[in-house]
Amino acid sequence: MSWSLVFTEAYNRRAARFLKRHPELRQPYRKTLLLLEADPFHPSLRLHGLQGRLKDLHSVSIKLSYRITLHLVIHGQQIIPIDIGDHDSVYR
C-alpha cells in the first residue's frame, strides 16, 4: 500500500531554500521522498518518533547529518513534511 505525500507551501519554501544551499543533496532528497511514499518504515530512512515539544512529529534521514521532520498520519496513509535541514536546525 503506498502512502501519499502532502506538501504545504511553508514546507515547499523551506525545501527550496535548503536545496539552494545544498544542491549536492538534490538526488538523495528525491530518493528519500520516493522511499517515503513506497515504504516510510524502510530501515534506511531511520524513521523515529520525536520527544519533548516535537512529540507529535517523526523524523527521517536524508543523509547522516540531514533530516526531514514530518507528521505521519497512519489512518489516512498520509505523510506531511514539516521541516528540512541539518540535525540541529530541525530539532530546535
Do 44 and 35 meet the contact criterion of CB atoms below 8 Å apart? yes
Contact assessment for residue 65 and residue 79, using Cβ atoms and an 8 Å cutoff:
no
pLDDT higher at 18 or 73: 18
Which range of residues forms the domain containing residue 44?
Answer: 4-90
**Angle (nearest 5°) at CA 10 between 6 and 12:** 65
φ, ψ at 17 (rounded to 5°): -65, -45
Q: How many other β-carbons are positioned within 10 Å of the β-carbon of residue 13? A: 10
The count of structural domains within the chain is 1
Q: Return the residue matching grid coordinates 543533496.
A: 25
Per-residue pLDDT reduced to its tens digit, 39-59:
999 999 999 999 998 898 999
CATH of the domain at 74: 3.30.2310.20
Query: Is the alpha carbon torsion for 32, 50, 42, 74 positive or negative?
Result: negative
74 vs 41, more confident: 41
